[in-house]
Structure 1
Amino acid sequence: MKSPSATLLAEVRTFRQNHPDVRYVDLIALDIAGHFYGKRYPVDMLEKVAAGSPLKLPQNAVLLGAQGGLFKIGDYCFNDGDPDANRRLVPGTLKPVSWESQPLGQMLISSDGTEAPIEFEPREVLANVLERLRLKGIHPVVAFELEFYLFDKKLDNGLPQFPRDPLSDDADDRPTLHIERLSRFGDVLDDMAQTATAQGIDITVITAEIGPGQFEINFGHCDDGLRAADWAALFCRSTRGVALKHGYRASFMAKPYLQFPGSGMHVHVSLYDGAGNNLLAAHQQQPLRHAVAGCLALLPHCMPIFAPNHNALRRLGGTVNAATRASWGFEDRDACVRIPESDPRNLRIEHRLASADANPYLVLAAILAGLEHGLEARQDPIAPLNEDRSSGTDFPVEMLDAVRAMQHQQVVRDKLGAEFVDVYCENKRQDHLAFQQEIHAREYRWFL
């Protein structure tokens, strides 16, 4: 068996042979806010890193806020000397970038698996959850679904405009599920799918959603939770780039229009043992009920992860298939936790609460923590919506309330890491306060 460095070195050399015109590769990772940060490396230097040379980036790059600035969080950022931290190359992720004007490559990097991983790095948080489950003999299979909107490339005084229908040149301003919209926007959607496939992402179903210019992309079920979250993160980056190339903007913003549905991140999760048996289907599906109960118990305490910003909280309630309470149900899209109809082999939950702009590593980590908690506690859930349409428990819909609910919940701290929870909650608190510092024109209209 090849050593990790030998495998990486072979990957880089093969890439260079297949793409001799590429001189630089973007080494990228997702920060707490769900944005990519990194460095652009000459490809010959990348070969040295693959061979074992150190790869270091500032530790505090993970802590960037929604606008890219740093907040004082404990001793981080301003009292720690801004130290570097080791990163590693993620094997299998070196791919060409087709949406830039010049030949370019990109590759994921991470601190997980290094000698001193960053406790609050999103990929490391998920890696820890997955490793704990692996030691318990639990192996998740995961599939993400992401909704997004297309807009015209030009903004109107900072506001989004409906995309132009390429066949009629009219604005696509009507809510519809018609499949003809897939044909009218076929060029850009096909390029998005092909580009994602070139990135190693398993794209399956493409759907025209209800909102004008809104679509959904489904990914294949993956038995590697880290890779499944990698796919979701990389898809967001490539889709935005491809859209610009075609004269559009693509956005995973949770609620771009008040009058139309928001964009969600739906996550399908099933759990298997080492022999491939579906753990949720055992004993007349009693473990499924326990897992659902655990998800619902932790859901109100993970809201800063599922709805990570002010706009994401706007998405909850008031429109189609957006839950207002922690609930579950069989084949019910109004529920936070939906149980799709399936045979026992493929029995799974579909977690529907997270917004499309949430961090996929953290969303999956929080869902798996809820499932794990439920299997441990062995409690029965509240009534499903199929039996009681009013069933459900409240969750916080204001950011500061959500942060308080998360920061002091001991199970969440144990499952996701106390250091991560403290850092993440303070990051969200500071983001919220920074957002409140700007006076909107509406305030002058109302109060001047």
Structure 2
Amino acid sequence: MNADLLAEVQAFRQRYPEVRYVDLIALDIPGHFYGKRYPVEMLEKVAAGSALKLPQNCVLLGVQGGLFKIGDYCFHDGDPDVLRRLVPGTLKPVSWETQPMGQMLITSDGTAAPIEFEPREVLASVLKRLRDKGIYPVVAFELEFYLFDKKLNDGLPQFPRDQLSDDSDDQPNMHIERLSRFSPVLDDMVETAREQGVDTTVVTAEIGPGQFEINFSHLDDGLKAADWAALFCRSTRGVALKHGYRASFMAKPYLQHPGSGMHVHVSLYDEARNNLLTANDQQALRHAVAGCLDLLPHCMPIFAPNQNSYRRLGGTVNAATRASWGYEDRDACIRIPESDAKNLRIEYRLPGADANPYLVLAAILVGLEHGLEQRREPIAPLNEDRNSGIDFPLDVLDAVRAMHQHPQVCAGLGAEFVDVYCANKRQDHQAFLQDISTREYRWFL
């Protein structure tokens, strides 16, 4: 029995006596939550020591929830149940549903037999390996997203309308006024996130119509930082619907407007809280950058996980088509923000907002680890050469081929995970293509 967990559940029941059900949730490979809705009295039994099991293959779901044959999983393994555990500190109220609810994260990491391809377990394994080497990351996520009108127009998204909007898009992009015009829904998103324990900071109106960015505080707990990003996506979608909007973290919803990114700030410290990236006149920083650039082309299925993700790359505003780096340069995939020595860090800007935050952070950390061990100098920064860069795949299948069986990626993230993940992405993409678009009829009928 975990006395702290039991106390957490009992305190929640006392504070929210109207809550009858709690959603126990975890993120699958495509970045969607799956789980079960538990009566709150049963949750107390789980906290007291009763086994919590869910099917292992829930983690393997495709974007549309279907199962693919991947090795012996799904159709030849009997669909076994696997132990999960409650994540302490994540039992929170849900305010966007029609009735009082609660939710709590669950995971297989830390159990007797963790699922090797569960995203949270992949990140947990990377973090443990770094700790064993005396490396302690500090992490902060930034997420961009779009608001849309709740109703689609012939299946296409429409920009959100506030009290001043008419049939044209008159929103002041990048202006503080847009924050005011949409303050009821944005304020509710921030407050709801904080109810979930997510420490949000800066809110920015971005360039696209109805596009915003939210920043989170820096954390010395990488798992918790990724938890925050995942939970924010869930609560933000729910709050938007409550206010009559849709919120989406789709990477490129409009061809003519900027896509939405997931920016990740990472610094590395030793046990004495010395910034490892400052060593030898920042030579360690350059080594870390070189490692990230080396592995970036082989981690693209994580940073750009679906067909739409690649539309964002090379489009308008700060979305590169080659692996690059630079000081205070937002055109670079890896930006080095200006800071003092204590806070020296990288900002990894390539991933789309639709990526899985656990896997994104795991891949970034593996790149940093690889660079610190290889101790190679990176290519020239964009500040010195605007044409500097390393090619990376720009479509799903090329990306999967570049990732599958890559030795450093398999060693860093786990060979079983890489095999399962690449098979999932390949089959998801093939399923996506099994549709005849109106363009095909116009071109080929």
TM-score by length of 1: 0.98
1:49 aligns with 2:54: no
Quote the Cα distance in structure 2 between the aligned partners of 1:376 and 1:10.
Answer: 43
Q: Do 2:83 and 2:108's aligned partners in 1 also have CA atoms closer than 8 Å?
A: yes
Quote the Cα distance in structure 2 between the aligned partners of 1:440 and 1:201.
Answer: 40
Q: Do 1:165 and 1:171's aligned partners in 2 also have CA atoms closer than 8 Å?
A: no
Quote the Cα distance in structure 1 between the aligned partners of 2:163 and 2:418.
Answer: 46
Q: Which residue in the other structure is 2:262 paired with? A: 265
Shift of 1:282: 1.5
Q: 1:30-429 counterparts in 2 under 5 A? A: 30-169=27-166, 171-172=168-169, 174=171, 176-429=173-426
Quote the Cα distance in structure 2 between the aligned partners of 1:147 and 1:75.
Answer: 37
1:10 aligns with 2:11: no
Q: Do 1:120 and 1:424's aligned partners in 2 also have CA atoms closer than 8 Å?
A: yes
Quote the Cα distance in structure 2 between the aligned partners of 1:302 and 1:333.
Answer: 20
Shift of 1:62: 0.1
Which blocks of at least 5 consecutive residues in structure 2 are unaligned?
A: none
Closer, same or farther in 2 for the Cα pair 1:175/1:399, shift >3 Å?
farther
Quote the Cα distance in structure 2 between the aligned partners of 1:128 and 1:424.
Answer: 16
Quote the Cα distance in structure 2 between the aligned partners of 1:139 and 1:204.
Answer: 23
Quote the Cα distance in structure 1 between the aligned partners of 2:27 and 2:172.
Answer: 32
Q: Which aligned segments of 4 or more residues in structure 1 are displaced greater than 2 angstroms?
A: 165-175
Q: Do 1:174 and 1:211's aligned partners in 2 also have CA atoms closer than 8 Å?
A: no
Report SS of the residue matched to 2:113.
Answer: coil
Quote the Cα distance in structure 2 between the aligned partners of 1:172 and 1:127.
Answer: 44
Shift of 1:157: 1.3
Report SS of the residue matched to 2:102.
Answer: strand
Which blocks of at least 5 consecutive residues in structure 1 are unaligned?
A: none
Closer, same or farther in 2 for the Cα pair 1:173/1:84, shift >3 Å?
farther
Q: Do 2:262 and 2:350's aligned partners in 1 also have CA atoms closer than 8 Å?
A: yes
Report SS of the residue matched to 1:87.
Answer: strand
Quote the Cα distance in structure 1 between the aligned partners of 2:172 and 2:39.
Answer: 46
Shift of 1:197: 0.4
Shift of 1:290: 0.3
Quote the Cα distance in structure 1 between the aligned partners of 2:11 and 2:337.
Answer: 42
Q: Do 2:277 and 2:285's aligned partners in 1 also have CA atoms closer than 8 Å?
A: yes
Quote the Cα distance in structure 1 between the aligned partners of 2:315 and 2:353.
Answer: 17
Quote the Cα distance in structure 2 between the aligned partners of 1:6 and 1:435.
Answer: 46
CA deviation profile, 1:279-309 (whole Å, cap 9, x unmatched): 0012100000000000000000000000000
Letter in 2 for 1:102: Q
Letter in 1 for 2:292: C
CA deviation profile, 1:239-273 (whole Å, cap 9, x unmatched): 00000000000000000000000000000000000
Q: Which residue in the other structure is 2:427 paired with? A: 430
Q: Do 2:286 and 2:378's aligned partners in 1 also have CA atoms closer than 8 Å?
A: yes
Shift of 1:158: 1.0
Letter in 2 for 1:47: E
Q: Do 2:405 and 2:415's aligned partners in 1 also have CA atoms closer than 8 Å?
A: no
Quote the Cα distance in structure 1 between the aligned partners of 2:171 and 2:299.
Answer: 34
| Identity over aligned pairs, percent | 81
Report SS of the residue matched to 1:263.
Answer: coil
CA deviation profile, 1:146-201 (whole Å, cap 9, x unmatched): 00000000011111011002344555455711110000000000000000000000
CA deviation profile, 1:382-434 (whole Å, cap 9, x unmatched): 00000000000000011111001001210000000000000000000001100
Report SS of the residue matched to 2:429.
Answer: helix
Report SS of the residue matched to 2:2.
Answer: helix
Report SS of the residue matched to 1:270.
Answer: strand
Quote the Cα distance in structure 2 between the aligned partners of 1:188 and 1:163.
Answer: 11
Q: Do 1:328 and 1:336's aligned partners in 2 also have CA atoms closer than 8 Å?
A: yes
Quote the Cα distance in structure 2 between the aligned partners of 1:121 and 1:171.
Answer: 44
Quote the Cα distance in structure 1 between the aligned partners of 2:172 and 2:375.
Answer: 43
Q: Do 2:405 and 2:419's aligned partners in 1 also have CA atoms closer than 8 Å?
A: no
Letter in 2 for 1:329: G
Shift of 1:375: 0.2
Quote the Cα distance in structure 1 between the aligned partners of 2:66 and 2:6.
Answer: 35
Q: Do 1:165 and 1:172's aligned partners in 2 also have CA atoms closer than 8 Å?
A: no
Q: Do 2:323 and 2:391's aligned partners in 1 also have CA atoms closer than 8 Å?
A: yes
Report SS of the residue matched to 2:323.
Answer: coil
Quote the Cα distance in structure 2 between the aligned partners of 1:99 and 1:167.
Answer: 25
Quote the Cα distance in structure 2 between the aligned partners of 1:210 and 1:168.
Answer: 17
Quote the Cα distance in structure 1 between the aligned partners of 2:152 and 2:315.
Answer: 26
Q: CA RMSD in A?
A: 0.9
Letter in 2 for 1:37: Y
TM-score by length of 2: 0.99
CA deviation profile, 1:106-151 (whole Å, cap 9, x unmatched): 0000000000000000000000000000000000000000000000
Report SS of the residue matched to 1:444.
Answer: helix
